[in-house]
């Protein structure tokens, strides 16, 4: 009976339940006022979920530069941004994260360009650039 109870606790423990990326990344509609904690606009969130979140859904995987584009956190400097760790496990500054994202989505090199094996259309890239320049 004790083993069954422990197994039940493990299965139903909140920490063992994965939260879908669509629920972890907040967003705001273009018409609604936003504050820094609101995350990206919902239209950009859709681009992220459709093109980025498959690989960039945590900060543990070193192959993907330790950026989690499915979460939005309060950073040390009081701003908000994506969790993005350097090789020492320290959070990068939001400006550095944004610069790296733009560099990768605008790259002409298929080995460097994100998303891997694909390319965002011009409107999607412009949506990233516009939002990042406003934030």
Q: What is the pLDDT of residues 22-43, one digit of tens each?
A: 567 888 876 665 566 778 888 8
| Domain carrying residue 64 | 20-134
Q: How many domains does the chain have?
A: 1
CA nearest to 54, candidates 62, 40, 64, 43? 64
Is residue 5 included in any domain, yes or no? Answer: no
- The predicted-structure confidence for 74-87, as pLDDT tens digits, reads as follows 999 888 999 999 88
Is residue 57 included in any domain, yes or no? Answer: yes
Is residue 2 included in any domain, yes or no? Answer: no
Residues 6+ apart with CB under 8 A from 45: 22, 25, 27, 39
Is residue 113 included in any domain, yes or no? Answer: yes
Is residue 11 included in any domain, yes or no? Answer: no
Q: Do residues 49 and 34 lie in contact, with contact meaning Cβ atoms separated by under 8 Å?
A: no
pTM of the model: 0.74
Is residue 1 included in any domain, yes or no? Answer: no
- The predicted-structure confidence for 46-60, as pLDDT tens digits, reads as follows 999 999 888 888 777
């Amino acid at each position: 009976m004790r083993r069954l109870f422990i197994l039940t606790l493990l299965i139903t423990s909140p920490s063992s339940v994965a939260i879908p990326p669509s629920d972890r990344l907040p967003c705001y509609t273009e018409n609604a006022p936003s504050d820094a904690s609101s995350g990206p606009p919902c239209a950009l969130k859709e681009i992220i979920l459709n093109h980025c979140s498959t690989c960039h859904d945590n900060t543990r995987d070193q192959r993907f530069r330790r950026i989690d584009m499915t979460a939005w956190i309060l950073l040390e400097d009081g701003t908000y941004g994506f969790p993005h760790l350097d090789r020492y496990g320290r959070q990068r500054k939001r400006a550095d994260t944004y610069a790296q994202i733009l560099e990768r989505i605008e790259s002409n090199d298929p080995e460097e360009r994100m998303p891997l094996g694909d390319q965002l259309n011009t409107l999607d890239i412009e949506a990233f650039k516009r939002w990042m320049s406003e934030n």
